[in-house]
Amino acid sequence: MATLARLGVAPFRYMAPALAVRPCLRCSSVGHAAFLHFIEIPACVYKTYSTLPSTKLPTTLSLAHQQQTLSEAVLKEQEGQLTLGEDASCATTKGFGKKDAWASEEPQQCSVRSKKKTIKKKKTLIMRDKEPAVHQDECVVTKDSAKQDACASEEPQQSRTTCNKTKLSKTGKLKKKDKEPAVPQDEDCQIHQVAQIKNISAARLGKDDLVSKANDAPDKLKYKKKQQKKTTQQKRYYTQEVAGVLAYLEACITTGELDLAQLCLQRLEKSATYGQYLRTSMYNILIHAWAKQGSLLHVAQLFSNMKKLMVKPDLSSYVGALECMGRAEHCPENILNRLLQDMEQNGFTLQHMFDRYPFFSEERAGVLHTVRRVRPDFLWQYQYRKDPYSLPLVAQCYDQFKKEMPSFPRLPFTANELRQMFRKQLAMEEAGFVTVESVKASKSVNSDTARQRKGRIEHLRSHWRQELPLAFRDAKSKVNPRRVSHFGTSIYPFLLLLSEDDYIDIMMMAITTLPPNGEALIVFAKDLGRKVQSRFCIKCKEKIGITALVTKVYDHYVELLASDGKVHDKFPREYWQELERDLLHWYAYGHEDVIWPDTTTMQLGTFLTNIMVSDMNIPKNAKNPLQQTLIPAVYHTYNYQSKRKIGFIKPHPLLTQILESDHNSSLIFDAFVMPTYCPPVPWTSPTFGGYIVTPAQLIRMEEGITKQRDLLDHCKEEDPSKLHVVLDTVNQLGSCPWQINEEVLDVIISLFNSGGSTQLGVPPPPSAGPILPKYDPTGKTGIADRTDYNKAVRLARKTLFEMHSLHMDAEYKLSIANAVRHRTFWFPHNIDFRGRSYSCPPHFNHIGSDTTRSLLQFAEGKPLGPNGFDWVKIHLVNLMGRKKCESLSERLRYANAHMEDVLDSADRPLEGQRWWMESDEPWQTLACCKEIAKAVRSPDPAAFFSHLPVHQDGSCNGLQHYAALGRDVVGAASVNLIPHEVPQDVYAVVAQKVEEKRLQDAANGLQIAQVLEGFVNRKVVKQTVMTVVYGVTRYGARLQVEKRLNELEDFPKAHVWKASTYLSRGIFHSLKEMFASTREIQVKTSIQSITVCNMDIQQKPHTMKQKNAFPPNFIHSLDSTHMMLTALNCYRKGLTFVSIHDCFWTHAKTVDIMNQVCREQFVALHSQPILENLSNFLLWKHSGLLPVKKKEHEGHFKLLDLLKRVPKKGDLNLQQVMDSVYFFS
């Protein structure tokens, strides 16, 4: 009760007596027809309340008054004191939400006046020969209501189309209007459509005539049906406008503006254009809001409107209704019975509701008590849903866990230590941002100067703290909440979600992180809006108690991870869900963050940006901050990018100068940018996991992409086991603890502060960039030609801008690494639509550059063992980029021969011989050298605990999957699917074949072949060979080769274009010979044709891009599947496993085990009928989409025939992969 009182929620009426409602003597019914789902109110009483504006109900009628009025109205109706003379089945809402002059009168007077007004309007319409809409039987209703009722039988998206119009004769009988026939059904519907196509009046034609006309226009009818089908399919997907309405409704409910939410929904209901976007989720938001207050009338009205507009209630709708009945003061049992019957007719059982709907504990108890009023024998006990794994590979993987005793890895921390880490992470997320000391060396200044700078910055921030609240209130007061968009939304409720201090903090943090060159307005405004959304979600979870629940579960969850934990043999997801059920009686968290579309965040961000531009000022004289002359701190300007005019927000140079004096000491980051201080919360659904309270998504999706969200929702409901392997894999990748390699970090920071090095990937500061040229018409001190001068200025500014961006990026990464150098941290993961995994923190992670990777090492060390030291040495040679075509034994011999260079690099990285700088990956090489030096100098290298990740990379992994799909023997041999003594280099083989063809052409006198003599090598062809499997075009391949040729200093530049064209053709020809079966798989057809729906405008994407995108996306999905299977099986064996797509990391001791698992899962994956399944899927998807034009039918049938023919496979034996040493090496 205390929680409900704090939130302003009506308590459940566990012992409330039921209101005895007798049948209405006048209308002979207990409830209105539209309310059969719900509350029993006589039609006469309902007519009274239906005419009241929704804005008046919460303020003028209390819950007790509503019940009292109902009782009095029933008694007066029985005594004949209140009459309307209208049947219950015809009583409909009249202008629900309009501000009538009599809205504030007593209910009885309102009803009488409503009757008089309706009769008067009826007479007026008849006299003027108007055609008022009629519902059914002989009842007169309002025109708007008739439209709703007449359209209720149609599809929800078409509920606002033309309805059946009739007119009332003087005798009171219905008479059909000649010129506008009723909407026909079934066969007559087709005839009516043809008549509309031919512009023929249906009243002038008989049915036989219409049939003949229909036979004359079959193509047009088919086209119209096709267009209607397209429109229906497009309207099923959520658009930005729908997401904006959901966000607006949630904001209104959160801020207590229920009237605005109600008006927004009513506007959509009445709109013929925008009413098609109504969704059940919109009604659910309001249903639950009114349910919290126990308002039966409002909930009943919402159910009534849903029925009229054919919006089907879902489980959440019925839960809201039951909750409302539990909180209401009086609710008859027959109403409750009818609701439960209707819910069961729609396929929702009570057991399913209590099992699957995510109640809070008090809500579950209240609804359960309400149900037991009419179902006293109902006993609920949670039934855990264990769905069988329908995917063979997944079922096989999880079946092995049951048969064998898994040895899941443990963290080197106690349970209490993990709980303390969790509290620290929670505090950081709730704060929303974190301050990090910068690694940039501060310029030495005396104490007086430092004190003066600090005082100037503090005075500036204090000034903003005083001025911004006034400006924010003034700007908010000018926002009219009633002035809404076409969808009934406005920015007003979003300005009430947080306190003023929160908005001020967000604006001040944004201005301090604004780069000197400015930011595009659209990016800056969207980022501001996202910050507001993130902070709102965090505060909302804290308010409704989700934060406390997560904390309670996590305190028990650490028993699975801690070194002294008592729980074994469970995946993190499984154990977390068990704790939810046991501790909270809760299967999954019900509070899913409503997605704010870009339009909403842009509007909110633009509002805040306007305040910043107009009211954030700085003193004109920086040395005298008390001076009264103020200038804007930021300003809005325009830049041109690719001939497009783009708005920019730029800081004043004086502000940049002031802040830079403080930037030497601190940087401000959002909380989600930092690695987590505790093991991430396991993903249990697509919307919950990774962070504690910070909103996150399992799958990275662009704004407006709804198809994937629909598939996720469908999968979650129909077969959750399909998501388990994805959730468990992402949890496993995120559970790896990391720590900083402090020795390498110190070397990089010293180099960063001493000017950087482009060769080593440490960007120099912008001060080392080019100086802007000068213009001098004489040419003595500058450039004389104006065109050349402008070109040189643009180039210099572009270079400076790039140098600044790279330098700041390096500063961010090094500063974050320095902030976590003495602690253990984790990287939460998510995936893209292909299944490829990524780290959630964007700046500092293991997927970054060579510099970032060198700073990371496993927090848990493992002894090298008998073979681990050799793997570390082989890893060193692989990083150097040497001996790629040599055997492992030869690489090991090379490492032993250069042991002196290794030790010198470890001891004197910047002062010695700098052998490590010659590597392809210099900083990772330096980290490996230091690890080898420690192991060599230890008493027993085999017992040395190593923290260094050892990599095993696939040999042109995309071609490996293609060769396995086609069972291509020749191609498999080229990419090491078949055992060899030495690794096969597909790039060298292609270069050799291209060179052989070049020799033949040169002998035949081809000039360009002669020019290329001595220039065809592995480096020139590598990028094209690597990307051809991912759908690179010939044009793209030519550009790649052209870039490589331009890098050769002695190649004649005049022949670059012809040479690149010649070589790209030769590369494609060589690959076609080598991968014969593979090329059959890469047949590209026009099967990818999608439509992006933006309101009613249809746009088709670039067809060629869609064709080119299909092969790489499919192959990427295969390599991600291989990675997931490998990750799960490595986790089962107790291995530390991390991946960067097709590059797998683990401890040196466990490389052999990981290699074995990697090969087993590759064979298992490609033993499945992948191509056959793809063929069946494409046939199922496209067989029913017959083109509208007859001339396209033949091509469509050819496409279907092509999809049926699965490419013939070769004779490759996949089991040979198990013995291939260089498959991953």
Condensed to tens digits (0 to 9), the pLDDT of residues 1157-1210 reads 999 999 999 999 999 998 888 888 877 777 777 777 888 888 888 888 888 888
The pLDDT tens digits of the residues spanning 353-398 come to 887 787 876 788 888 889 998 998 888 776 666 666 667 777 767 7
pLDDT reading at 351 higher than 90: no
Measured CA to CA, the distance from residue 877 to residue 864 in angstroms comes to 18
The one catalytic residue among 47, 94, 541, 1022: 1022
- Does 17 have pLDDT greater than 70? no
| Rounded Cα distance, 530 and 533, in Å | 5
- pLDDT given for residue 352 in this prediction: 84
Label residue 1082 by pLDDT band (50, 70, 90): low
The conformation of residue 123, written as its DSSP 8-state character, comes to H
Question: 9 falls in which pLDDT band (50, 70, 90)?
Answer: low
What pLDDT, on the 0 to 100 scale, is given for residue 155?
A: 37
Q: Per-residue DSSP letters for 148-167?
A: HHHTTTS-GGGTTS----EE
Q: What per-residue confidence (pLDDT) applies to 73?
A: 45
Q: Give the residue-averaged pLDDT of 1079-1102.
A: 43
Per DSSP, the three-state class of 712 is: helix
Q: Catalytic residue at 862?
A: no
Residue with tokens 């699917």: 977
Q: Which residue has the higher pLDDT, 44 or 250?
A: 250
Residue 446 has pLDDT above 70, yes or no: no
Contacts 24+ apart (CB under 8 A), 748-753: 748/814, 748/851, 748/854, 748/855, 748/923, 749/439, 749/814, 749/818, 750/910, 751/910, 752/439, 752/440, 752/810, 752/811, 752/814, 753/439, 753/440, 753/441
Answer yes or no: is pLDDT of 539 > 70: yes
Question: Given 149, 670, 1119, 1142, which residue is catalytic?
Answer: 1142
For residues 300 and 38, what is the distance between their CA atoms, to the nearest angstrom?
6
Q: At 71, which amino acid appears?
A: S
Q: Which two tokens stand for residue 1043?
A: 């870039």
Lowest mean pLDDT among 188-197, 413-422, 1049-1058: 188-197
More confident residue, 732 or 157: 732
> Tell me: the pLDDT tens digits for 705-717?
767 777 887 777 7
Rounded Cα–Cα distance for residues 479 and 467 (Å): 19
Residue type, 415: A
pLDDT at 405: 64
According to DSSP, the residues that pair with 826 across neighbouring strands are 676
List Cβ neighbours of 310 (8 Å cut-off, separation of 6 or more).
152, 153, 154, 155, 156, 159
Q: What percent of the chain has pLDDT over 70?
A: 73
Report whether pLDDT(322) > 90: yes
Model confidence pLDDT, tens digit, residues 967-1023: 988 888 888 999 989 888 888 888 888 988 899 898 988 989 988 888 888 888 888
Q: For position 220, what pLDDT does the model report?
A: 43
Closest-CA residue to 69 (of 787, 77, 769): 77
Look up 1142 and say whether it is catalytic. yes
CB atoms near residue 179 (< 10 Å): 9
Range of 12-26, 379-393, 653-667, 732-746 with top mean pLDDT:
732-746
pLDDT at 1193: 81
Residue type, 838: Y
For residue 195, give both structure tokens: 């008549």
CA angle 682, 683, 684 (to 5 degrees): 110
Percent of the chain residues past pLDDT 90, beyond the cut:
33
- Ranges of H-type helices in 346-479: 350-356, 361-372, 392-403, 415-431, 447-477
pLDDT at 812: 92
Strand spans (E) along 284-380: none
Q: What is the mean pLDDT of the chain?
A: 77
Is 850 annotated as catalytic?
no
CA distance 343 to 1119: 44
pLDDT reported for residue 57:
34
Give the model's pLDDT for residue 483.
85
d(CA 1012, CA 659): 55
pLDDT confidence of residue 1152: 94
The active-site residue, picked from 569, 719, 953, 1152, is 953
Which residue do the tokens 């059969």 mark? 36
Does 896 have pLDDT greater than 90? yes
Residue tagged 């920071």 (tokens): 749
Name the pLDDT band for 135 (thresholds 50, 70, 90): very low
Tens digit of each residue's pLDDT (9 = 90 or more) over 989-1000: 888 889 888 998
